[in-house]
Amino acid sequence: METPNQNIKPVTTKINEKGNIEIGGCDLVDVAKKHGTPLYIYCEKTIREMAKAYKDAFSSYKKTHFMFASKAFMTKAIVQILSCEGFGFDTVSGGEMYTVKSVLGDLKTCLLNGNNKSEEELNMAIDNNIRLISVDNFLELAMLNRIAKSKNKTVDILLRITPGIECHTHKYIQTGHLDSKFGFDLTQLDEAIESIVEDYKNLNLKGLHAHIGSQIFETKVYYDEVKIMLGEFKRIYDKFGIKLTEMNLGGGLGINYTINDRAPSVYEIAKQIIDSIDKYTEEYNLEKPTICIEPGRSIVGTAGVTLYKVGTSKTIPISNKKYVAVDGGMADNPRPSLYQAVYEAEVVNKRDKNKKEKITIAGRYCESGDILINDVELPELNSNDLLCIYDTGAYGYSMSSNYNRTLKPAVVLLNNGSAKEIVKRQTYNQLVENDMLL
Ligand SMILES: Cc1ncc(COP(=O)(O)O)c(C=O)c1O
């Protein structure tokens, strides 16, 4: 069965009777008129369908928790939508925890993870009854135990490990291989467990956590990840007599950014995970653990598109290469300049198939590398035309900046013909409000 991450466009996308692109029953020309550009747009139905697909795909494995990886896109409204779908939240900072808490009142459905958590963040997590903390290193073990002890509390923890799996994905977003800044190397695991058993009485070790990469297209890596993790469960039981009960497999499922991409469906990765659990719990004589899946990109990536207004254009005389500039770029979407991410785009307001031309879509920022899409075929663009770049829902808004002192765009959620602003456009006042004169 196909799942929305395998589409380029949000599930409600169509061309309406005016010839304009419509998402969630809303004409994007009208949405741009009302909310301005650049504009982040999310299709609520796509987010919910993807969340439901995860639940359905794992429905035969009852002990599954889903935690949305907040780093992909975190706002109060996304907390409302995904908590309503039964998801918890994988958080990595005080800001992400604060956002969840401001909606839900506590952090009982959350996990805190990260390679350099501050004392303040650990305090915040414990004080708000976080479900689990994924401990990344020896220093953190000692610090967390000290904080928990001072509060007279016992904290449930996972140990983040690097299982040594290399995914065929962009090198900047691989996190599970052996040379990684995240987690304990498998050769350090026993020392970490010994310290918990002997010295850290305020920590309760529940299980292991790994994340083997992002934008993953291969399904077998999940089978191998489970095999390695359960191998460690068995080894730890044999050596320490500790029965681990929780296995967090991270996120990573890819999405189709271009027509050449072939992301698997959620059902395909669920099958690999469940098959591997069945095989290795039986082979190692283990009880089936609670599992946790932490998707980010695949939940919100396809649901999000960015709307831009076309401005100037320039043709290089010697090569005839044409640049068309839009009113956004690397500050609202750093992915192309950061790791050469590739996208598909469409013109929102015209469908003139005859007059296509090859152009490069340039951002408005003062960096030559601020190019959103290289060499894309589109109908001839004029200033004030509207351009829609698909699949910008993950790691766009959340990685945005105020580079060149530009304002962060608004975020609008589209559903059933209604366009609801879920994040307001920043104002110049907000831009300078923390600046102090000498
Ligand atoms: C620990 C962890 N879990 C989950 C994710 C989410 O990954 P993705 O957005 O590829 O699903 C990440 C992303 O870096 C991560 O580091």
For ligand 1, whether the C-beta of 251 sits within 6 Å is yes
For ligand 1, whether the C-beta of 304 sits within 6 Å is no
Asked if the model's pLDDT at residue 342 lies above 60, the reply is: yes
CA-nearest of 51, 73, 74, 55 to 64 is: 55
Rounded-to-integer distance, Cα 438 and Cα 435, Å: 10
CB 68 within 8 A of CB 96: no
Asked if the model's pLDDT at residue 172 lies above 50, the reply is: no
**pTM greater than the 0.85 cutoff:** yes
State the pLDDT at residue 350: 85
Q: Rounded to the nearest whole angstrom, what is the distance from the C-alpha of residue 3 to the centroid of ligand 1?
A: 19
Taking only the tens place, the pLDDT of each residue in 37-76 is 999 999 999 999 999 999 999 999 999 999 999 999 999 9
Mean pLDDT of the chain: 95
* Average pLDDT of the segment spanning 298-323: 97
**366 is a catalytic site residue:** yes
Backbone CA torsion sign across 137, 138, 143, 149: positive
Q: Name the 3-class secondary structure at 430.
A: helix
Asked if the model's pLDDT at residue 166 lies above 90, the reply is: no
Of 115-119, 200-204, 349-353, 399-403, give the lowest mean pLDDT range. Answer: 349-353
Taking only the tens place, the pLDDT of each residue in 138-165 is 999 999 999 999 999 999 999 999 988 8
According to CATH, what is the number of the domain 44-300?
3.20.20.10
Q: Which residue carries 């401990």 as its tokens?
A: 135
Asked if the model's pLDDT at residue 173 lies above 60, the reply is: no
User: Tokens at residue 213, please?
Assistant: 């990469």
Answer whether CATH 2.40.37.10 is correct for domain 4-43+303-432: yes
Rounded-to-integer distance, Cα 413 and Cα 380, Å: 29
Domain ranges of the chain: 4-43+303-432, 44-300
State the pLDDT at residue 165: 83
Residue nearest to atom 16 of ligand 1 (CA): 211
State the pLDDT at residue 363: 98
State the pLDDT at residue 177: 54
Q: Tell which atom from ligand 1 comes closest to the C-alpha of 173.
A: 14
State the pLDDT at residue 164: 84
State the pLDDT at residue 175: 52
Assign 339 a pLDDT band (cuts: 50, 70, 90): confident
* Average pLDDT of the segment spanning 1-16: 97
